[in-house]
Amino acid sequence: MGRYARVVVKLSGEAFAGTAGTAGTGTDPVCLAGLADEVASVHDLGVQTAVVVGGGNLFRGRLAGSWGIGRAEADDIGMLGTVMNALMLWGALTARSEPDVRVMTAVAMQSVAEPFIRLRADRHLRRGRIVLLAGGTGQPYVTADYAAVQRSLELSADALLVAKRGVDGVYDSDPKTHPDAKRYEHLTYREALERSVKVMDTTAFVLAEEQGLLMHVFDVAAAGAMAAICEGRDIGTRITA
């Protein structure tokens, strides 16, 4: 085992989408299998592993206006998207004969998943089960980023591993439009907030800073990155309070 005994991994919905094309929408079986490999490789190290699953590949509540529907309903739809992704990941992990994988949802959905109960999630993790956390916080007007920080704190994770799609850390400017953009190896939340870097929701960052959470931001497509970070390598960007 490496430096962390327990981690929460944040997988954005885009991580489930194919790379061909590509607006980061829909789901792709190759990406799904890759995600299962990465999560399993962390668990194989003996690290207690929970995964907060996003749903932006399927629906985002902040697009409510363009669909002509209310924000609260749109957020419910977004939360259901996270459950779809989590069930897919459950399937892919279970097909690999991982020991035991549980899906827990913040939105009550008894016939497809367990309800999220903090102490029960904690027990699953202590027993070596991979826990997939879906439905975000169960509340509208926030995102899966906020849920990832909140769950990391609730479950006393040593670190939150934020897997991004298409970028391998935090940069001082957008690397897609600025070829000379520099990647930070380390950053504080204060610096990130002051420089308005777009990594996560501001609300998630504020909570992470306030509670002193340790976070790593890295490229989801970099095979082995999650496990390497757990073993002690600082891949991507490390963010601390």
Residue ranges that bind ligand UDP, judged by CB under 6 A: 12-14, 54-56, 60-62, 74-75, 78-79, 81-82, 136-137, 139-140, 142-145, 147
Task: Check: CB of residue 12 under 8 Å from CB of residue 56.
Answer: yes
Question: Least separation, in Å, of the C-beta of 192 and ligand UDP?
Answer: 17
C-alpha span between 4 and 196 (Å, rounded): 29
Is 184 annotated as contributing to ligand binding? no
Is 75 annotated as contributing to ligand binding? yes
List for the chain the helix, strand, coil content (%; round to 5): 40, 20, 40
Question: Least separation, in Å, of the C-beta of 239 and ligand UDP?
Answer: 17
* 192-222 per-residue burial string, b: 16 or more CB within 10 A, e: under 16: beeeebebbbeebbebbbeeebbbbbbbbbe
Is 115 annotated as contributing to ligand binding? no
Is 10 annotated as contributing to ligand binding? yes
Between 162 and 187, whose beta carbon lies closer to ligand UDP?
162
Question: Least separation, in Å, of the C-beta of 218 and ligand UDP?
Answer: 15
Between 78 and 169, whose beta carbon lies closer to ligand UDP?
78
Between 2 and 140, whose beta carbon lies closer to ligand UDP?
140
Between 92 and 147, whose beta carbon lies closer to ligand UDP?
147
Q: Which of 153, 176, 40, 20 is nearest to 95 (CA)?
A: 40
Is 94 annotated as contributing to ligand binding? no
Question: Least separation, in Å, of the C-beta of 126 and ligand UDP?
Answer: 25
The length of the chain, given as a count of residues: 241
Tell me which amino acid residue 125 is. L
C-alpha span between 132 and 85 (Å, rounded): 10
Between 14 and 28, whose beta carbon lies closer to ligand UDP?
14
Contacts of residue 140, defined as CB under 8 A and 6 or more positions apart, other chains included, come to: 61, 71, 72, 75, 76
Contacts of residue 86, defined as CB under 8 A and 6 or more positions apart, other chains included, come to: 51, 53, 103, 105, 113, 132, 133, 134
Between 210 and 234, whose beta carbon lies closer to ligand UDP?
210
Question: Least separation, in Å, of the C-beta of 17 and ligand UDP?
Answer: 9
End-to-end CA distance of the chain: give it in Å, rounded: 25
Question: Least separation, in Å, of the C-beta of 221 and ligand UDP?
Answer: 15
Query: Annotated binding site for ATP: which residue ranges?
Result: 10-13, 56, 60, 171, 174
Query: Annotated binding site: which residue ranges?
Result: 10-13, 55-56, 60, 75, 137-144, 171, 174
Query: Annotated binding site for UMP: which residue ranges?
Result: 55, 75, 137-144
